[in-house]
Chain A
């Protein structure tokens, strides 16, 4: 299959079921909401080393937030439901509570699984905190030097999908980067999806385990590394000299698939030879995003 002259390989991205929470961070200005969100989602590229994955979903207009101020929507994911509340408590406590003017609200209010995040963070108030119920939702007012930090008592947790991906195989580094940037721009703000890596792009795709070091759980994806073409079992077509990967996490498979469709189409541009995807033979992750089916608008992923 060719898309704008770019080969779409007959393969699929293999993704995992994760647990996800959505945070709505508001601030006096968009800048301060963004500052808190960027800190919160920092060092959250991969569960391999960061214990969670997170990213900015989209910016929110004042009319879209609970307190009528500008905000940012963030998704944060973990591999298991036990660790999600701890990651939220750590990160909100260190990055949003500390950030001037911000407040933090739950973005999944209808989800039955509730995590007592604000309920835990209220202890920072050292007994001076106070709760308020507005409608049917409880909030904590935590006194701080600036005034008060407001946080919702509980946050919703639901199953999400982590590890949606596609690979951009290009004739040189400039073409790969330009295509990746175009893909990220096309996917930015897509509801239910975040791109957890720097700028949404990964240059160091990995394989499971190691050929040489027993303790390594992930090592370089040598099959897609151009410099190793002559010394490994390369999967790179001729003429490919640089590969970049886009990784997508989201609230559900449909959102990931929709964003992949936008991203792959945007990435098919001059200098790109092929679009591929990372998988583990279909043996590890329950979600399989077949590139050709996605682009043909076929039935949704499993």
Chain B
């Protein structure tokens, strides 16, 4: 039986609840879980002040309610599964190394910052800074997968070093900014200045995009590695079309202001 944690009192200010992670909850009874500390604004509180808890933690946590003001859910988790039935707040899965988070709603900014492993799936939209480096940090996501079925805001994959970020809708400006490696797949459109300052890595889009002048056209071809990514994303439920899998892509190399070893792949119309 999984642990069910249901919001009963909406926090008036952001609630920092990094205790909502399978490892922190493992082996605890429902009353013990309710006693775990959270930070409400600048005040300490108990988890039970806001949530009703039932069941036992067996590696899976079911969260229900409008959690748009609840931050740090699943932060640092290494295994297990978190399912959120509703919207979720900032810093979801920050620094996680394993396990899976599934959000059956929208996510706020900073989904999976500096994530190392595991998978985050957002069935709705996500805010800015999906899979990004924290401010002041040069390296973002180091591994794992973030899959957003809807659209995402600015700076997707900022400083990304490894892993996969997939956006089913559109991505905002500066996708892959300062990217070091890894792969970003956007089934919709890219915003302005995609790949600015990228050193290595791949940014893929299925729509035409105007790139920075520091990107150079190389060729139009069918990259095989992309088939592997796209077939995997299709298995995970993203609406990847046959034309995406078998299509030809323009390869643009950049960013020339950096190493110039990155690429933007644009599906040929």
Q: Is B8 an interface residue (CB 8 A)?
A: no
Chain B contact surface mostly: mixed
Instruction: Name which residue of chain A comes closest to B263, CB basis.
Output: A130
B227: A residues at CB distance < 8 A: 67-69
Instruction: Say yes or no: A68 contacts B231, CB within 8 Å.
Output: yes
Given contact pairs A67-B231, A68-B231, A132 touches B225 in the complex (Cβ within 8 A): yes
Instruction: Say yes or no: B200 contacts A130, CB within 8 Å.
Output: yes
Docked pose: A46 CA to B212 CA in angstroms? 57
Docked pose: A69 CA to B230 CA in angstroms? 13
Q: Is A252 an interface residue (CB 8 A)?
A: no
Docked pose: A150 CA to B229 CA in angstroms? 13
One of A133-141, A159-167, A277-285 at the interface: A133-141
Given contact pairs A68-B245, A132-B183, A133-B162, A150 touches B224 in the complex (Cβ within 8 A): yes
A66: B residues at CB distance < 8 A: 228
Q: Is B222 an interface residue (CB 8 A)?
A: yes
Number of interface residues of B (CB under 8 A): 20
Docked pose: A141 CA to B202 CA in angstroms? 12
Instruction: Say yes or no: A103 contacts B224, CB within 8 Å.
Output: yes
Query: Which residues 118-177 in A have Cβ within 8 Å of B in the complex?
Result: 130, 132-135, 139, 141, 147-148, 150
Instruction: Say yes or no: A139 contacts B225, CB within 8 Å.
Output: yes
| Chain B 163-206 near chain A by CB (<8 Å), digits 1 or 0 | 11000000000000000000100000000000000001010000
Q: Is B44 an interface residue (CB 8 A)?
A: no
Docked pose: A130 CA to B232 CA in angstroms? 20
Question: Closest CB-CB distance, B157 to chain A, in whole Å?
Answer: 14
Instruction: Name which residue of chain A comes closest to B202, CB basis.
Output: A132
Question: Closest CB-CB distance, B93 to chain A, in whole Å?
Answer: 18
Question: Closest CB-CB distance, B166 to chain A, in whole Å?
Answer: 12
Name B225's contact: one of A68, A69, A135, A150 (CB within 8 Å).
A150
Question: Closest CB-CB distance, A100 to chain B, in whole Å?
Answer: 12
A69: B residues at CB distance < 8 A: 227
Instruction: Say yes or no: A147 contacts B222, CB within 8 Å.
Output: yes
Docked pose: A141 CA to B183 CA in angstroms? 13
Instruction: Say yes or no: B222 contacts A67, CB within 8 Å.
Output: no
Instruction: Say yes or no: B225 contacts A148, CB within 8 Å.
Output: yes
Question: Closest CB-CB distance, A130 to chain B, in whole Å?
Answer: 7
Instruction: Say yes or no: B224 contacts A134, CB within 8 Å.
Output: no
Docked pose: A132 CA to B143 CA in angstroms? 11
Q: Is B221 an interface residue (CB 8 A)?
A: yes
A103: B residues at CB distance < 8 A: 224
Docked pose: A68 CA to B224 CA in angstroms? 10
Instruction: Name which residue of chain B comes closest to A130, CB basis.
Output: B200
Question: Closest CB-CB distance, B204 to chain A, in whole Å?
Answer: 12
Docked pose: A67 CA to B223 CA in angstroms? 11
Docked pose: A134 CA to B261 CA in angstroms? 19
Instruction: Say yes or no: B232 contacts A134, CB within 8 Å.
Output: yes
Query: Which residues 205-243 in B have Cβ within 8 Å of A in the complex?
Result: 219, 221-225, 227-229, 231-232
A150: B residues at CB distance < 8 A: 224-225
Output the residue of B200, B202, B224, B225 with the most chain A CB within 10 A: B224
Name B228's contact: one of A139, A147, A148 (CB within 8 Å).
A139
Instruction: Say yes or no: B228 contacts A67, CB within 8 Å.
Output: yes
Instruction: Name which residue of chain B comes closest to A147, CB basis.
Output: B221
Docked pose: A297 CA to B52 CA in angstroms? 62
Instruction: Say yes or no: B225 contacts A141, CB within 8 Å.
Output: yes
B183: A residues at CB distance < 8 A: 132
A68: B residues at CB distance < 8 A: 227, 231, 245
Q: What are 25 contact pairs spanning A and B, CB under 8 A?
A: A67-B227, A67-B228, A68-B245, A69-B227, A103-B224, A130-B200, A130-B261, A132-B202, A132-B228, A133-B162, A133-B163, A134-B164, A134-B225, A134-B228, A134-B232, A139-B228, A141-B223, A141-B225, A147-B222, A148-B221, A148-B223, A148-B224, A148-B225, A150-B224, A150-B225
* Residues of A that sit less than 8 Å from B by CB: 66-69, 103, 130, 132-135, 139, 141, 147-148, 150
Beyond A132-B183, A135-B232, A139-B228, 12 additional contacts (C-beta under 8 Å) are: A67-B224, A67-B231, A68-B231, A69-B227, A130-B200, A130-B261, A134-B232, A147-B219, A147-B222, A148-B223, A148-B225, A150-B224
* Residues of B that sit less than 8 Å from A by CB: 143, 162-164, 183, 200, 202, 219, 221-225, 227-229, 231-232, 245, 261
